[in-house]
Amino acid sequence: MKHYLHIIICTLLLMAVSTNMSAQGWPKDYSGIMLQGFYWDGFDDAQWAVLESQADDLARVFSLVWIPQSGNCGYKSMGYDDLYWFNDYNSAFGTEAQLRSMIKTFKEKGIGTIADVVINHRKNLTNWVDFPRETYKGETYEMVSTDICRNDDGGAAKKWAEENGYQVSANNDTGEDWGGMRDLDHKSENVQRCVRAYLDFLLNDLGYTGFRYDMVKGYSASFTGQYNAEAKPQFSVGECWDSSETISNWINGTKVDDVPQSAAFDFQFKYVCANAFNNGDYSKLGQKNPWGDMPLNSSSFKSGSFRQWAITFVENHDTEKRPDGSSNGPLEKDTLAANAYLLAMPGTPCVFMKHWLKYSNEIASMADVRRAAGIVNTSSYANMRSSKDYYATAVKVGDENRLVVVVGSNLEGWVPQASQYTQVLEGRHYRYYLANSLNTAWVDKASGTYRTGEMEVRLAAVTAAEGAKLVYTLDGSEPTAADTQVENGAAVVIPHGETTLKVGLLIDGKVSAVITRNYVVKNADEKDPVIIPDFCTVGEGEICAFFESPLSWSDIKCWAWDTNNNNVNYTGGSWPGQACNELGKASNGNAVWKWTYTGTFTTPPSHIIFSSNGAPQTADLPFFNGGYYTKDGFVEQVQVGIDDIFADGKPAGVRIYDLQGRRINSLTQKGLYIVNGKKYVVR
């Protein structure tokens, strides 16, 4: 009985520790990497359906994906003028159904979704003081004029309210004033009630894992602490855009029971990197930024005590060069080297979407090395050597240096001892070395799709053992001592197509530490095949067409007309035409739609256009009955039975040949024919 009691007590203690950890805002010794899954005006790339389609690729690298604020803001918006918190999630990035599907898919793949939470301010419906009236769990939530800070917009909100018969709060803002929208008074019980319900909705209804709080200098850090202590997100990060001292003070300001409730973005890490890489002076990585600050994750900042709470990055949607030309200290050079430095260092790295889209395979390879070294957010580091043209850093796990990263224009400026480290990765202005104590085989390219044609990968034997070699296979089988043996640094050719490469260390005749890479190698201009789903069918006598829409398109409309009949319209006469019916998903995740003509014409149109409710749209495309189309045009006609095709004569666009290759106009005899490139039997 005592034994079981001991187990129960231990279990309860572990549960208490687990609960406490989940309320700490960011886990200690965390090894994950976050992706900022959007950029400014990146509406197409950040569509929920587009992100969901990439879940497998993202899951190989990222544990967290931070997405734009997901509620409806009243029009096409990046979400920082938030309007609806509960009842309208059809936004510029997709529908609520698509959002829920993406979050669910991410969770199944091991990815947590981070919500962009904007509670410093809120947009109004028609005037300065009217907010949406919404319901959640049977309760009504509505902010009122007295939830607006007394000094909002320098007093302009109060002046307008009084002139129009309203009152604002008696409380001034607890943070910095901002005049873009109405600043919320977080001392208000109604505001707190609405925020608490909102966070509960994000976590427990939509399924988010955590929060990225926008513009946290706009209200007291204590409120972030208060909200998180109750909501208990697994992850929380605040945008406190300021000096390291201000950021660390903000983190401390979120404490509840002396435990910080949120991490913060390490802006000084970003600016130190921009200063070094933009100027080609890599020694600046070990110096303060131009404004006199060291990064939060730096060993020199308060003895590294804030590394757990440092979310490091080298670019984001506010600092990048935006389409309108504005920017705030953007990273302009050496993007790959900057990401190599980011992904080697302690803190939790947050990769910018534009960098991921351009360099996904390289970043994935860097992430592989980080994981192999076992680097976590609380790891420590030390500079090994520094000069204007290179900077070498050793990163520790426990008491052992596990990874050395060298960045700069002179990568030979400092090379670690071969007896201690083995080079595993190299690119423009960066190199990675792993400690030989790890005793593992290595491949310098991560699993993934490469549009390079036939390519080479380099193998590495990360070990201090004398005489160690590498063995590998290309067919997915476990390598043995009898398989191909090569030396450290050998190149292996990966052919076009799909290949599973397995590599192991061969020491004293025994194979160990086998690693696996799965590659899909394509030519640079190779297009993915279009596979027509089985659910695309054509009824007898039906005039119809199918459209596989890009993931960023929705609400597909069809516009069809006949140039042979005075351009008569088949789809309503008013652009963008007739709504299509969504049938399902193609194998690549794209939605497939069907347009069916329901009018009285007996002949088909000559041309067709598909659009996403008007824009974007396809080109003017020739119409083929039962045709399957993508945004690039006609693919082929859906296979239907011969009797169906010719029940009412031969429709336009159908090509018929006999086995001698002669084109014929109709099927009048039994036999074997080629119809639109496919064999059919007429009995």
pLDDT 10s digits, 588-617:
889 999 999 999 999 999 999 999 999 999
Across all residues in the chain, what is the average pLDDT?
91
Report the b/e string of 229-253 with b at 16+ CB within 10 A: bebbbbbbbbbbbbbbeebbebbeb
Closest of 291, 244, 249 to residue 267, by C-alpha: 244
Closest CA to 675 of 629, 615, 632, 626: 626
79 touches 184 (CB < 8 A)? no
CB burial string 394-405: b at 16+ within 10 A, e below: bbbbeeebbbbb
CA–CA dist 589, 54 (Å, integer): 10
Q: What percent of the chain has pLDDT over 90?
A: 83
Give the confidence band of 289 by pLDDT, cuts at 50, 70, 90.
confident
What is the H or E stretch that residue 183 is in?
strand 182-183
The one-letter code for the residue type at 293 is D
In this prediction the pTM is: 0.87
Quick one: 263 exposed, middle or buried, by C-beta within 10 A (0-12, 13-18, 19+)?
buried
Asked if 404 and 433 touch (Cβ cutoff 8 Å), the reply is yes
Is residue 361 within 8 A of residue 446, CB to CB? The reply is: yes
pLDDT digits (tens, 9 = 90+) for 223-262: 999 999 999 999 999 999 999 999 999 999 999 999 999 9
Which pLDDT tens digit goes with each residue over 517-553?
Answer: 999 999 998 888 888 998 999 988 899 999 999 988 9
Q: Is 241 helix (H, G, I), strand (E, B) or coil?
A: coil
* Amino acid present at 83: L
Nearest alpha-carbon partner for 407 in 335, 340, 312, 313: 340
Phi, psi of 240 (to 5 degrees): -105, 90
